[in-house]
Structure 1
Amino acid sequence: MSFSIPYLLSVITFLPLLGAVAVLLVPNDAGKRWTALGVSLVTFLISLLLLVGWQDGEAGMQFVENVPWLPAYGLHYALGVDGISLWLVLLTTLLMPIAIYFSNLFVHDEIGPYLALMLALQTSMVGVFVALDMVLFFLFFEFSLIPMYFLIGRWGGQNRLYAAVKFFLYTFTGSALMLVGILAVIGATGTANIAELQGVQLGPNLQTWAFLAFAIALAVKVPIFPLHTWLPDAHVQAPTAGSIILAGVLLKMGTYGYVRFALPLFPDAAARFGPYIAILAVIGILYGALVALVQKDVKSLVAYSSVAHLGFVMLGIFALNEQGISGAVLQMVNHGLSTGALFLMVGLLYERRHTRMLDDFGGLWKSVPIFCGFFLVVAMSSAGLPGLNGFVGEFTILLGMFETQPIFTVLGALGVILAAWYLLTAFRKIAQGPITNPANEAANLPDLSLKEIAMVLPLVILFFIIGIFPNLFFDKINPSVEALTAQMAQRESAVVYQLDAAEMGAYTQEPEAQH
């Protein structure tokens, strides 16, 4: 079934921003909470129309909106989704009502500005995934810094200001490099529109420098080792809802940027620098897992697990083949669901015990069995247990990388083993063993309520749906990835042809006369 709703993507993108204004105008806290939750739920329901109207097998952009913005400078208000961005848009619209619902239950300080910032953040994230103009992408990309900075800096933990400033400086500095790359491309081609750039062949020197500008900027956002140091601080200090969105969606803006811009626009440079980025990805997988193993704070453990899991995504992207990139796209969604759920579970535990230290727990299976059951499923999803979502993405990525660099596949598989180790260790310290602290007794520790189960259950259901029926997702991802890899191969061949022609011209020039 296919249909067209005018400006559907604009509605999905900007309705949360209008909701943010409405939240600030509502006079009482209860009204603010209901308004924010209602807007986020309506946005999610509207976003499901993307699935209803999706044309299966179509590789190109769908639901396209294209209005000249500054035509003299080659800029357009251009939106669209393909199989690569579709699931990321839906991931964003799904996680936001869950994060807002959690906030409604547990955040009591200045709830109006808090919820308004959350909704404004949603607009920036959806905008990144649907923008088809590089400058528009950059504006949404940069706008996301502002609400997240204030969410961490105002509602975060004890060291929140340090974490917020570090987050802002890292990502803003990286973004400045990306702006340089964007301006270089516009200067050479006269356009920032992705559709128009598909027919333009960039020269090898421009590809090299523009790719490096994009790659460094996006590496900070992912983040890739060794540019990751802002992430643990931001996660540990952020409020729970902020961590859910930061891990679940915000980090995917970096990995998505590679697939949407760095690979198709600069394929020759991506092929040349890809092995080095893959090496950093493998280091990130192993480093993140090993550091997670020694963490005493469970939130810090989950933060370092993100470094490892996003290393897998980068490994898939720079396999530079269909299997690897398709696996990476699905793993972006998987990581958003699994790690978002992990931060949700950690937040629910913290609201009960007001501690995140693993040594303060033990024996919780006896006192909160429902919580522990959900926590185990979420942990196994993150660890990549067969039958759950994490396995499908990681397995597909490793298959793709095996075609190009088998040794990276072996090292990546070691990262899977380490993930199971640190996640099961965390579960054992929290749920198993005797209860040695009276605060962990059932009389002092309530199990999950129906409201809290309602937040976790949709994510757990999706774990099983993706794990058992992955083709429901790959069927929409694969056509777009196939088109991407074909476009990369064609452009890379063109660059090689240009270089060969230049070399041939040098050889056929007559030598200068000898004197």
Structure 2
Amino acid sequence: MNISIVLILLLAGAAFTFFAGNKFASKIALLVSVASFVFTLYALNLYLNGADLSCKSIWIQNPKIYFSLAVDGLSLAMLLLTTGLLPLIILSGWVTKFENEKAIYSLVLFMAFAMAGTFLAADGLLYYVFWELALIPIYFIALLWGNGSLEERKNAILKFFIYTFGGSLFMLVAFVYLYQKAGSLEIESLYALALTETEKTWLFLAFFLAYAIKIPLIPFHTWQANTYSKAPAIGTMLLSGIMLKMGLYSVLRWQLPITDTAAKEFMPYILGVSIAGVIYGAVLTLRQKNLKKLLAYSSLSHVGLIAAGLYSLTIEGFQGAVLQMLSHGLVIVGLFFVSEIIFNRWNTYTISEMGGIRSQATKFASFFMILVLASVAMPTTFNFVGEFTILYSLYNVNIGFAIVAGTTIILGAFYMLRMYQQTMLGETNTKVFADVTIVEGLVLLVIVVLVFFFGLYPKPIIELITPSLQNILNQIN
């Protein structure tokens, strides 16, 4: 077996879902997503037993471009996140009645195909193609099935598309330059290049612009909140749970190893920007009256901390960042699903119009409470492991960075618990709020179980990713 089977399954599944028609689209999409996750688990087992899952063949003769997929612990962890969240995201869509279901579920699978390809690609142009392909389905998902008026959706998604596509052009220019130097865009050839300090500086900045927009880091974040709030919940989950991880993963895989000395030179400044994003995101979150926008800005704060871990250039920072990528993906998908459940019951995202839900739906309120506590990194939850490790890495770099970044614990607890009080507690609302259905409960239960399991026992993931992260750090050093 090689890892391309997972990509083929997702791509073929997208086509089959579309041609199966609206009646069966959601069921087929769920079946394909579960199958892709099972194949990923099988690939993981083969990898742990020493199998080579890579795939390489010539794609374009001149210039010489390879269809090259490579597998290591880091790429497998991100593939597990993608294929593991996909069934939950598709199942969460079952609580919403979409028009033209065959189209939206085929787009979801196609987007998963592109994101998975981004995590596996080992040739620069192939990686760039997958990177850009992921933009197409989310554009139509947000535009055609999003919230608000069509004009509002157009403005939000167009800004997102222009920002991310424009930033990616700088990365394409960097790859063109690297091809001229190496005669190939295979990742190992790029790692082996002997570049001057000036070349590394410009390449670092080109990659940084593309990734800072995708993550996003301040001041490149202005597309995020509107896009998250206007996209349907299924699109917001794809964006926050998986797509933004493409930028964080790419910092590790492409930017830092190729531009090693420039990364070290810029480290204090990027750490400052990342940590500023932690504080800025938290302050913006405190001002939000819309539940989806509140979760979007809280995500901005969390990814700022992840970026700080990456740019700390330490093994602990790398480990903590990857752990936090995985845990953030789980928890933010759960939180956006909670917001969608409330919207389906009461047709509002406005926090002031909520309240008293706990007295009517104790199971729902309990799931929500666990996700809120996980979001603020309560010990025994998955987020705590990653966040603590990142703060430890920042402490080793500069104690001031660790102290400032650590305020995310206090600010996060304040705005998340305040939000919980306003939505779940208080006077009983006169509107009826039904407790979770079987499908809703299943999605939330799976997320909660994983959050606690890996919070108590993160060893399998740490052992999986550490050799790959150590190789990247050795390349930087």
TM-score scaled by length of structure 1? 0.90
For residues 403-437 of structure 1, what are the alpha-carbon distances to aligned partners after superposition, in whole Å with 9 as ceiling and x for unaligned? 112111001100121111111011111111221x3
CA shift at 1:211, angstroms?
Answer: 1.1
CA shift at 1:62, angstroms?
Answer: 4.9
Q: 1:55 aligns with which of 16, 28, 48?
A: 48
1:77 aligned counterpart, secondary structure: strand
Q: 1:12 aligns with which of 6, 10, 28?
A: 6
Task: Name which of structure 1's ranges 99-108 and 154-163 shifts more when overlaid on structure 2.
Answer: 99-108
Report the counterpart of residue 33 of structure 1 in structure 2.
26
Query: Match of 1:151, as an amino acid?
Result: I
Q: Does 1:402 align with 2:395?
A: yes
1:365 aligned counterpart, secondary structure: coil
Q: 1:130 aligns with which of 106, 120, 123?
A: 120
Report the counterpart of residue 452 of structure 2 in structure 1.
464
Report the counterpart of residue 106 of structure 2 in structure 1.
116
Note if contact 2:182-2:189 (Cα within 8 Å) is conserved in structure 1: no
Q: Report matched runs for 1:217-256 at 5 Å.
A: 217-256=210-249
Gap regions ≥5 residues in structure 1: 490-515
Q: Does 1:438 align with 2:426?
A: no
Query: Match of 2:20, as an amino acid?
Result: V
Q: Report matched runs for 1:178-193 at 5 Å.
A: 178-193=171-186
Report the counterpart of residue 450 of structure 1 in structure 2.
438
Note if contact 1:83-1:480 (Cα within 8 Å) is conserved in structure 2: yes
Q: Report matched runs for 1:9-408 at 5 Å.
A: 9-27=3-21, 29-55=22-48, 62-158=52-148, 159-408=152-401
Q: How far apart, in 2, do the equivalents of 1:24 and 1:363 lie? A: 41
Q: How far apart, in 2, do the equivalents of 1:428 and 1:320 lie? A: 39
Query: Match of 2:80, as an amino acid?
Result: L
Change (3 A) 1:414 1:62: farther
Change (3 A) 1:162 1:223: same
For residues 372-394 of structure 1, what are the alpha-carbon distances to aligned partners after superposition, in whole Å with 9 as ceiling and x for unaligned? 00001111111110110111001
Query: Number of residues paired by the alignment?
Result: 474
CA shift at 1:80, angstroms?
Answer: 1.5
Q: How far apart, in 1, do the equivalents of 2:395 and 2:61 lie? A: 45
Report the counterpart of residue 486 of structure 1 in structure 2.
474
Q: How far apart, in 2, do the equivalents of 1:267 and 1:303 lie? A: 32
For residues 274-308 of structure 1, what are the alpha-carbon distances to aligned partners after superposition, in whole Å with 9 as ceiling and x for unaligned? 21111110111001011111211111000001110
Query: Match of 1:11, as an amino acid?
Result: I
Q: How large is the Cα RMSD of the aligned pairs? A: 1.3
CA shift at 1:197, angstroms?
Answer: 2.5
For residues 169-197 of structure 1, what are the alpha-carbon distances to aligned partners after superposition, in whole Å with 9 as ceiling and x for unaligned? 00000011110111111111111001222
TM-score scaled by length of structure 2? 0.97
For residues 14-66 of structure 1, what are the alpha-carbon distances to aligned partners after superposition, in whole Å with 9 as ceiling and x for unaligned? 31221111122114x2212221111111111111112212337x8xx951111
CA shift at 1:71, angstroms?
Answer: 4.5
2:57 aligned counterpart, secondary structure: strand
Identity across the alignment (%): 34
Gap regions ≥5 residues in structure 2: none
Note if contact 2:14-2:105 (Cα within 8 Å) is conserved in structure 1: yes
Note if contact 1:62-1:82 (Cα within 8 Å) is conserved in structure 2: no
Query: Match of 2:95, as an amino acid?
Result: L
For residues 440-482 of structure 1, what are the alpha-carbon distances to aligned partners after superposition, in whole Å with 9 as ceiling and x for unaligned? xxxx211001111111111111101111111121111111111
Note if contact 1:207-1:269 (Cα within 8 Å) is conserved in structure 2: yes
Note if contact 1:74-1:186 (Cα within 8 Å) is conserved in structure 2: no
Query: Match of 2:223, as an amino acid?
Result: W
Q: How far apart, in 2, do the equivalents of 1:362 and 1:458 lie? A: 26
Report the counterpart of residue 419 of structure 2 in structure 1.
426
Q: Which has the larger radius of gyration?
A: 1
Q: How far apart, in 2, do the equivalents of 1:95 and 1:319 lie? A: 28
Change (3 A) 1:306 1:62: farther
2:53 aligned counterpart, secondary structure: strand
Query: Match of 1:390, as an amino acid?
Result: N
